Amino acid sequence: MEAYRDFTFARTLNQMDLITPDGQPVRWALNLLGARELKDRVYGPTLMLKVCERAAANGLPIFLYGSTAEVLERLSRNLQTRFPALIVSGMKADRFRDSSPSEDEQDIRHDQSIGSAHRHGRTRLSAPGKWVVAHLGRIQAPMIAVGAAFDFHAGTLPQAPKVLQDYGLEWLFRLLHEPKRLWRRYLILNPLFVLSFGRQLIRSRASLAG
């Protein structure tokens, strides 16, 4: 929905190699528009664990960017407990504000120096997707935005019960736990998503009927 409302962001977002349907309602919407092969969503927290599992198996270091220093410490510890062979080459907490140009360049140089120290490179896992979009082509490593997975796997936020996830109600569970941060996303953008999707579905069905 952010891309729908911001053409510049949408144009940059479309430069990403892969965009996956993280939410059940998005998957349902895509299927109604013809993507019948989508049997399940690509859940960010599950994707993160699969990436870490493969990284550990192949000796590929990862770098964690986002959230707070406390969350990153707990996340790193939990991941390495789950995958003992996993190499966490570095961590960087989010500033929770726009970085100055000099701060941003410093972050990039630090990231590149870490990458050059590892012969096989590394994968950067990031909580904020907008950061990934803003740094396409500037970070010489695969970047994967996984959203709330950092907090979930660090144990600082509870995950919605699977039954709520399966029925597309994870948003309600998260809203109840983080109302101050998420009210705008779910109470304003969700209805806009439904409205926009409804229009697209009507146009799609009309074109098929024609």
Give the pLDDT band of residue 125 (cuts 50, 70, 90): confident
According to the model, what pLDDT value does residue 68 have?
A: 92
In this structure, what token pair is assigned to residue 54? Answer: 């493969």
Mean pLDDT throughout 21-50? 90
Domain region containing 189: 2-209
pLDDT at 117 over 80: no
What is the number of domains present in the chain?
1
Give the pLDDT band of residue 126 (cuts 50, 70, 90): confident
More confident: 4 or 159: 159
Average pLDDT value over all residues in the chain? 87
The helix/strand/coil state of 86 is coil
Specify whether the CB–CB gap between 127 and 153 falls below 8 A. no
According to the model, what pLDDT value does residue 121 have?
A: 53
Q: Rounded to an integer, what distance in angstroms lies between the CA atom of residue 74 and that of residue 80?
A: 10
Give the pLDDT band of residue 119 (cuts 50, 70, 90): very low
Tell me how crowded residue 150 is: count the other CB atoms within 10 A of its CB: 27
In this structure, what token pair is assigned to residue 61? Answer: 């270091």
pLDDT in tens, 186-197: 999 899 999 999
pLDDT at 142 over 50: yes
Please report, for residues 30, 34, 42, 190, the alpha-carbon distance to residue 27 in angstroms, rounded to integers and kept in the order given.
5, 11, 9, 14
pLDDT in tens, 63-113: 998 889 999 999 999 999 999 999 998 898 888 787 788 887 887 776 666
Q: Rounded to an integer, what distance in angstroms lies between the CA atom of residue 126 and that of residue 208?
A: 40
The helix/strand/coil state of 1 is coil
Q: Where do we find the tokens 């994967």?
A: 144
Specify whether the CB–CB gap between 15 and 136 falls below 8 A. yes
Q: Rounded to an integer, what distance in angstroms lies between the CA atom of residue 167 and that of residue 69?
A: 33
The helix/strand/coil state of 63 is strand
